[in-house]
Amino acid sequence: MPNDNGVTWKKTDIDSLDLKGLNAVVIGGTGGLGRAITQQLASHGAKVTVVGQTFRDEGVSGIDFVKADLSSVKVAKQVGGELPTQSLDLVVLTTGITAAPEREQTSEGVEKDMAASYFSRYSLLKELAPRMLPQSHFFRSHPRVFIMGFPGSGKTGDPDDLNSERLPYKPLETHFNTVAANEALVFGAKARIPHLKFFGLNPGLIKTNIRNNYLGENSWKSSAIEWVISWISASPEDYAKKIVPLLISPDLSNFNGAIFDKNGNAIEKTPVFTDVYVDKFWEASAKLELKALGDSK
């Protein structure tokens, strides 16, 4: 079914895919949903470079690793400036954590969730995207960038407090600000980087490590919540099997700026994301990035 913007694509079975010749980068492909997507892409013939902190697929054919702590703006920019782009068809951005119960910040002075879940994408993309060619050999059209988060969920965020400095600190609001910033990133990048296509992914709730920083790794709270989620939702592998056919669908060449739910169905964006509101996030991001780079000298 098309959504209200007429976005639709023909779903295909993952087992019918031949992805030989597809070159992909999955930022955050070392764990959780990014890793599941990487494994599906590689097992169907694609070459995938994953960027993250801990490589868990050593020896798996088709998967290369770049080690980086992307909570550093400086490192994110460096990785974005160095990844090979000559034959890059597909970029998937899945890095993330949740905000801790007490505010944490990086050595560059950025709140840690905002740094790992948003600046790891914003700062990296600003370096990577201009270096990517306007034509993908695999898609015979523009290369594609997929930004995973929680778009379309109604989170408006607060671009005036991107660094969570307002008191009292509220971890859930901080995390929802990263959600909003990532939704704004899809539309802001679409407006600013016309030689690529940008899409948002909302996977819904899936059992992964994403909530560890908030719930506490291996805590009873974490075990209970993740157990419930694993019962009511798809596994990362099942999600990836549904979503990889979307990532490479020829139909997507007709669209730009669309967002998709856990089943790959197009959904409506959060209404607050007008061009003016998206620009506010973009401007606040540029300011905080500059401050982070200054603080790290």
- Alpha carbon 71 to chain centroid distance? 14
- Decide: 42 and 61 in contact? Cβ < 8 Å: yes
Nearer to ligand NAP, 49 or 208 (CB): 208
Cα–Cα distance, 57 to 26 (Å, whole number): 13
Q: For ligand NAP, which stretch binds (CB under 6 A), given 14-22, 162-170, 204-212, 275-283?
A: 204-212
Question: How many chain residues bind ligand NAP (CB under 6 A)?
Answer: 28
What string marks each residue from 135 to 154 as x (binds ligand NAP by CB under 6 A) or -? Answer: -------------xxx----
Judged by CB under 6 A, the stretch of 4-12, 49-57, 128-136, 218-226 that binds ligand NAP is 49-57
Instruction: Tell the smallest beta-carbon distance from residue 66 to ligand NAP (Å).
Output: 10
Q: How far apart are CA 97 and CA 114, in angstroms?
A: 9
Instruction: Draw the binding track, 98-127, toward ligand NAP (x: CB under 6 A; -: no contact).
Output: ------------------xx----------
Query: Is residue 174 near ligand NAP by the rule CB under 6 A?
Result: no
Among 66, 191, 205, 225, binds ligand NAP (CB under 6 A): 205
Q: Which of 11, 54, 7 is nearest to 248 (CA)?
A: 11
Q: In Å, what is the CA distance from 31 to each residue of 37, 72, 137?
A: 10, 19, 28
Neighbours of 10 (CB within 10 A): 8
Find, among 150, 170, 70, the residue nearest to 110 by Cα: 70
Stretches 4-12, 62-70, 78-86, 287-295: which one binds ligand NAP (CB under 6 A)? Answer: 62-70
